[in-house]
Chain A
Amino acid sequence: MIKKKVTIKNDAGLHARPASALVKLASKFESDFYIHMYGYKVNGKSILGVMTLAAEKGAELELELDGPDEQEAVESIVELIDSGFGEVYKNENE
């Protein structure tokens, strides 16, 4: 099992679109994936779980991975979060 702390960097936080990207990526791996935040623990392969965390920019998460491909999984997930989900956020009204 691997545990790893990360900070949300993108402005929108873990809202719908980034949450969806995270879940999609995590679901590619066999390992179980949980996210700890505010003392909560949610399934990182569950869009509803991730959305209910609704982590804002600056929020600290602890990722927990457990399974055969945990190393590879944690690297990919951290990369996605650190890249701010690779999204350039436009004006909300656009």
Chain B
Amino acid sequence: MSSESNKHEFILSGTPGSPGIVIGKTSLYRRNRPIVSNVRIDEEGIRKQIADFHEARTRAEKELKQMLDAQSDGSAEELIQTQIEMINDPDLCNRVEEEISEHNQHADSAIQKVFEQYLDMIKQNHEEMFHERSVDIADTRDRLIQILHNHEADEVKQGTILVARELSPREVIEFSDRNIKGIIVDRGGTTSHAAIIARAMNIPMIVGLKNVTKILAADKQVILDGQTGKVIINPGESTLEQYKDLIAQQVQAETNFQAICEQPNTTLDGKSFILRANIEFAEELSMVQKYRAEGIGLLRTESVYLRQEHFGGQKKQQSLYRSVAEVINPQPVIIRLFDAGGDKFFSGSKKEQNPFLGWRGIRMLLDNEGLLKDQLRAILKTAAHIQGCIRILVPMISTIDQLLRVKELMNLVQQELTDSGLEVDDHVQLGIMIEVPNVALQADFFAQHADFLSIGTNDLTQYVLAVDRGNERISTLYDQRHPAIWQLINQVAEAGRGNNIPVSVCGELAADPISACCLMGMGIDELSMSPTVLPTVKQQLRSNTLSDMKELSNKVLASNTVEEINQLFMNWNTTETKTKN
């Protein structure tokens, strides 16, 4: 009986990272955590640990050599080469062996300790540049320890639900090869790269469970509900039955999604619309194709730069742009310039009190023209190779001069490429993100100088409502359906029409099916969203008429509060379903 009480059903709540419901057994995954064991290892143990260490080195070297073979970029080659040299460093080998045999330590903690000595020395000599100087060394350490752990006990079994503190995108991809059913992590948010990859690979995921790794043991049966963000541990029979039904429905819905995606993009009364995808990684392209997005409405470029900082940025960037454009061409690929704060790029730069109101996006880029020109060069080279599909989107514009300067630099780079003998694409469009309120208010003015406008409702909302969208205490104040946002969107839509340029919405608002209808009603027929929500939005748009959507948008524009709008949306949905039935 007592063992039964340990097995009672309980629920943990996190944030949905990737949709889908799965039932399965857990596997625990720990990264870079040396097993600090106080148990002294005996002579036999010492020999085994030393052998394990060398085996890990051999494996790491093999992996690096494979990476090297697949690498054409010169500086990346050199970096990998340096890592190979580190792994074969005689001093490292001696020190680790010594640590194992003289202090009776496990190989992983010995590695940890020896690298700590190296890193400490850098820290003492070069505190200000510590991160930059140490990143490759720390990476080598992590790789060795990781290999040892996988080697020691491969805790992640095929077909299980993975429980971890956090995962890198690379790890998600790696584990997807083991057919893991789902992922549960302590840290991370919906927009973490791991979650984006999990969505792209169709692996249900829950993020932000805080200390789930401390609560959940391996081999526990759990239900992972990626829709609601719930993890149900030790589910009882009735709960299991209920979720099995939900899974069946989910499978049915997936089949329906496929059918919906094959239908044309038109409203019930025949007005056509365009649905595009927001992506960040080439791995997401399969989803984009599966759900038949008509191009990429937002290609985020921060991660490619941030992750590849030491890999000779421009070529890596180009390879991302190219791999996306090759698949998506002739449909458009809208590439957004780096949209990050300065602290992400320059390790020495000061922490800001209000980073969202600070040195980010185009503000930071224009202060670093070398960086900006590199990105423009990478984009425009891609455009020269795959003509007609590339467009450039400038984030965080708040003055017209910023846009004009980007235009100048773009022309400069085009000229440079032409001079080098490249046949450039002369029709690369340059558009702006509308996310700073003054630009939305002056949309007509800005529209005169831009080729297209893209409304980023996520940031626009936080700026208009003065609500930090990351601050949980005031999260109820953050609502993209706020009447003020709708009024601004309407104003921008009118500015686009007046200047004969396209207006699209690429924020979360577009992914909300009824809001999407309302946007259509305002005349915005280009929407871009995470690829996973495309079928749901499309279904809603297809099952309503444009005239109904117009009527809805008029009512929304006459509303004063979010509550009124929510009410309108709720009723609109039900009446529609009723008329359909």
A residues apposed to B, CB below 8 Å = 15-17, 19-20, 23-24, 38, 40, 42-43, 45-49, 51-54, 91, 93-94
Question: Number of contacting residues on B, CB 8 A?
Answer: 26
**Known: A54-B125, A93-B313. Is A49-B371 also a contact (CB below 8 A)?**
no
8 Å CB contact of A16 from B89, B129, B136, B313: B136
Q: Does B91 contact A (CB under 8 A)?
A: yes
Known A-B contacts A17-B78, A94-B314; the reply to A52 vs B91 at CB < 8 A is: no
Query: Can you give 12 A-B contacts (C-beta < 8 A)?
Result: A16-B78, A20-B78, A43-B90, A45-B91, A48-B86, A51-B122, A51-B133, A51-B137, A52-B118, A52-B119, A93-B313, A93-B371
Q: Contacts of B122 on A, CB cut-off 8 Å?
A: 51-52, 54
Tell me if B358 is interfacial: C-beta within 8 Å of chain A: no
B125 A53 Cβ-Cβ under 8 A = yes
Kindly state the separation between the CA atoms of A20 and B314 in the bound complex, as whole angstroms: 24
Q: Provide the B118-133 mask, 1 if CB < 8 A to any CB of A, else 0.
A: 1101100110010001
Interface presence of B85 (CB below 8 A): yes
Q: Closest Cβ of chain A: how far from B131's Cβ, in Å?
A: 12
Sample of 9 more A-B contacts, CB < 8 Å, known A16-B136, A48-B89, A54-B129: A20-B85, A24-B85, A40-B125, A45-B91, A48-B92, A52-B121, A53-B121, A53-B125, A54-B122
Indicate which residue in B78, B133, B374 contacts A93 across the interface (CB closer than 8 Å): B374
Inside 8 A of B312's CB, which chain A residues have their CB? 94
Decide if A47 touches B86 in the complex (CB within 8 Å): yes
Contacts A17-B78, A54-B126, A54-B133 given; indicate if A43 touches B91 (C-beta within 8 A).
yes
- The closest CB in chain B to the CB of A44 belongs to B91
Query: How far does the alpha carbon of A53 sit from the alpha carbon of B133 in the complex, in Å?
Result: 10
CB distance from A92 to the nearest CB of B (A): 9
On whether the beta carbons of A48 and B371 are closer than 8 Å, the reply is no
Residues of A contacting B314 in the complex (Cβ-Cβ under 8 angstroms):
93-94
Of chain B, the residue at the smallest CB distance from A23 is: B85
Residue pair B137, A48 in contact (C-beta under 8 Å) = yes
| In the complex, the 8 A-B pairs of residues with the closest C-beta atoms, listed nearest first | A46-B91, A52-B121, A47-B85, A43-B91, A16-B82, A52-B118, A93-B374, A48-B89
Q: How far apart sit A19 and B133, CA to CA, in the bound complex (Å)?
A: 12
**Contact residues of B between 134 and 172, Cβ < 8 Å to A:** 136-137
Docked pose: A91 CA to B137 CA in angstroms: 23
- Closest Cβ of chain A to B149, distance in Å, is 21
* In the assembled complex, B81 has its CB within 8 A of some CB on chain A: yes
- Asked if A49 contacts B91 (CB within 8 A), the reply is yes
Interface centre among B81, B126, B371 (most CB of A within 10 A): B126
In the complex, what residues of B have CB within 8 A of residue A38's CB?
125
Q: Is A48 touching B78 in the complex (CB atoms < 8 A)?
A: no
B-side contacts of A17, CB under 8 Å: 78, 82
Query: Which interface residue of B118, B125, B129, B312 has the most chain A CB atoms within 10 A?
Result: B125
Min CB distance A54 to B, Å, is 5
Q: How far is the CB of A14 from chain B (nearest CB, A)?
A: 11
Query: Which chain B residues border A94 with CB–CB below 8 Å?
Result: 312, 314, 374
Which chain B residues lie closer than 8 Å to A46 at the CB level?
89-92
The answer, among B126, B136, B370, for a CB contact under 8 Å with A91, is B370
- Interface positions of B from 58 to 95, Cβ below 8 Å from A: 78-79, 81-82, 85-86, 89-92
* CB closest residue in chain B, given A93: B374
Inter-subunit contact A93/B91 (CB<8 Å) = no
Establish whether residues B370 and A93, one from each chain, have CB atoms under 8 Å apart when the complex forms: yes
Bound together, the chains give a CA A15 to CA B137 distance in angstroms of 12
In angstroms, Cα B309 to Cα A2, docked, is 40
Q: Which residues from 455 to 513 on chain B have a C-beta closer than 8 Å to any C-beta of chain A?
A: none
Decide if A16 touches B118 in the complex (CB within 8 Å): no
**Chain A residues whose CB sits within 8 angstroms of the CB of B92 once the complex forms:** 46, 48
Residue of A38, A40, A93 with most chain B CB atoms under a 10 A cut-off: A93
| Minimum C-beta distance from A2 to chain B (A) | 21
Distance of A39 Cα from B254 Cα, bound (Å): 66
How far in angstroms is the closest Cβ of chain B from A56?
8
Q: Are the CB atoms of B90 and A20 closer together than 8 Å?
A: no
Question: Nearest chain A CB to B101's CB is how many angstroms away?
Answer: 19
Contacts of A24 in B (CB 8 A): 85
Which residue in chain B gives the minimum CB-CB distance to A17? B78
Within 8 A of A (CB), among B309-329: 312-314
